[in-house]
Structure 1
Amino acid sequence: MSLPPGDRVSAELPENDGPTRQIVIEPDADRLARAVAQALVARLAAAQAVHGTASVVLTGGGIGIAVLEHVAGLVAEPVREVVDWTAVDFWWGDERFVPAGSDERNEEQARKALLDGLELPDFRVHAMPASDAGFATPEEAAEDYLGELREYAGESGLPRFDVLLLGMGAEGHTASIFPGSRAVTDQRPVLAVRNCPKPPPTRISLGFSAITSAEEVWLLVAGEEKAPAVARALAGASPQEIPAAGVHGTRATRWLLDAGAASQLPGTED
């Protein structure tokens, strides 16, 4: 099947009433970020129409922050203001266990890109604890974040996540779950992760049990260096090999790619 840039291809998983897996390819990273931003605003507006509120789990990385910057641009256009941002809960999929205010923190990057301009109520922003927040260990910080999740939980024991955004590394890691790590098989909703192969080495991450509770999981992947991992994940690699292969939403899983990241998928080769 040919998947040229810009085409959107959806395929139902085996059960007709089961979740959808969709592959979306955009020509480059900027157009990918712009398209994801537009889709995210629409999805959050739809969630508010049903529930009155909406919730999104944010990711860091270049493409994740670029999406938030494009969302900020949409917010600045009055005709596109279809989301009540004061009724959106913001969570994080993972965080670097470094001091508050550090540019390495996903929270800090997200605040600069979007959140600081939205005048949000403090209780809507659920940042993972920083290393100087009074916790002796990242394990204690992870337990604290689990407590916050439970405070906002529904019947599932976790909050409703309308959209959960994830990036992916060239080796296939997602959130802070790295290939071959203990986090791959850890069933806790929130984990402390030590000795990450990518600095900084100490982090907090949602585990697979929390990630896969989301209604929709969107994997945002840009760059040709990630193409081998994308191809392996979509071909059915194990989560031990490619952790991103182990994530899915209860309603939909969307692989949102630029042309480089999609370049090794069947039908996309030159």
Structure 2
Amino acid sequence: MTVTNERRVLVHPDKATLAGTVAARFITKITDVIDSEGDANVVLTGGTMGIAVLEAINASAARDSVDWSRVSFWWGDERWLPRDDDERNEKQARAALLDHIAIDEAHVHPFAASDSGLTLEEAADAYERELADAAREGTRAPRFDITFLGVGPDGHIASLFPGREGIRETERSVIFERNSPKPPPERLSLTLPVLNASERLFMVLAGPDKASVLGLALAGASFEEVPVAGLQGRRRTVFFVDQDAAAEVPENLIAPVNYWTAADAN
């Protein structure tokens, strides 16, 4: 079967509706993936909307229709902070969803923390090995079925920032950042080729400060200047946005929220 990929923008009236709709789509799709593949790999993100989606999944009446024991969780990036720091993406994701579902802890794959005994560089190497250990033959990471990503006002994704070496990295699966333009300065991140190897990329954006960068990305800006412009999942690349974030999106790229065709089964 030939799978065509396209970028699609789905616009929602407000942040609450946005989070709830993404949660519903996720539950439906991850259930389908488990049925067809036997298991699933999900990459989580942080940020206000990333955590809001996880909270909406947890609040959904359909939450326990998912066989969570077959789902493995990874992270797109992490802040280099102590394990129990409230700013760590892992801690926020656990509070929002993971602590409330029947998961196998062996299937949860956080980045190392700053108090793990590893250096930042060693932590990047360790996560790269963990990805490789779970990868299919000939690949360097697991089959990421759904990867969630937020987008910063500067267009950054994960911890890949405009004009930095990390966004241009093609050999490594994981990079470390020592001087992030957004605090905290030290971070770990998956690289763009690994993100783009995901089957489905779900970007969730809200607020007027995201409108300009989203418009630039969809208009073909350089990924080195606007990192989100470089995203292209293997099957689906979907921007879930609110009205404010959609202000500069070309009208021909906006699909009705209820537009979900047979192609979306991929």
Name the TM-score, length of structure 1 as normaliser: 0.89
Measured against aligned partners, the alpha-carbon deviations of 1:97-153 in whole angstroms (never above 9, x if no partner) come to 000010110000000000011132211100011001110x21110110011111111
SS at match of 1:23: strand
Task: Give the C-alpha shift of residue 157 in structure 1.
Answer: 2.6
Structure 1 CA distance for aligned equivalents of residues 123 and 151 of structure 2: 24
CA distance in 1, matches of 2:16, 2:42: 21
1:19 and 1:147, CA in 2 relative to 1: closer, same or farther beyond 3 A? same
* Equivalent-residue separation in structure 1 for 2:185 and 2:216 (angstroms): 26
- In the alignment, the residues of structure 2 paired with residue 194 and residue 256 of structure 1 have an alpha-carbon distance, to the nearest angstrom, of 30
Counterpart residue number, 1:124: 107
- Rounded to whole Å, the distance in 1 between the matches of 2:52 and 2:107 is 21
Q: What is the alpha-carbon distance in structure 2 between the residues aligned to residue 245 and residue 266 of structure 1?
A: 14
Number of equivalenced pairs? 249
Q: CA deviation at 1:82?
A: 2.3
Give the whole-Å Cα distance in 2 for the aligned partners of 1:251 and 1:258.
23
- One-letter amino acid of the structure 1 residue matched with residue 54 of structure 2: L
Which residue does the alignment assign to 1:8? Answer: none
Structure 2, unaligned stretches of length 5 or more?
253-266
Residue 140 (1) aligns with residue 122 (2): yes
1:26 to 12, 15, 19: 12
* CA RMSD between the two structures: 1.3
How do residues 15-94 of structure 1 correspond to structure 2 at under 5 angstroms?
17-74=3-60, 77=61, 81-94=64-77
Equivalent-residue separation in structure 1 for 2:218 and 2:59 (angstroms): 32
Hey, which bits of structure 1, 4+ residues long, moved more than 4 A? none
Percent identity between matched residues is 44
Q: Residues 13-44 of structure 1, C-alpha deviation per residue, up to 9 Å, x if partnerless?
A: xxx84312211100111111110000111111
1:87-236 matches, within 5 Å, as: 87-135=70-118, 137-155=119-137, 156-187=139-170, 188-236=172-220
Contact 2:57 2:63 in 1 (8 A): no
Unaligned 5+ segments in structure 1 are 1-15
Distance 1:218 1:196, change over 3 A: same
User: What is residue 239 of structure 1 aligned with on the other side?
Assistant: 223
TM-superposed CA distance for 1:266, in Å, is 2.9
Q: Give the secondary structure class of the aligned counterpart of 1:230.
A: helix
- What is the alpha-carbon distance in structure 2 between the residues aligned to residue 17 and residue 125 of structure 1? 30
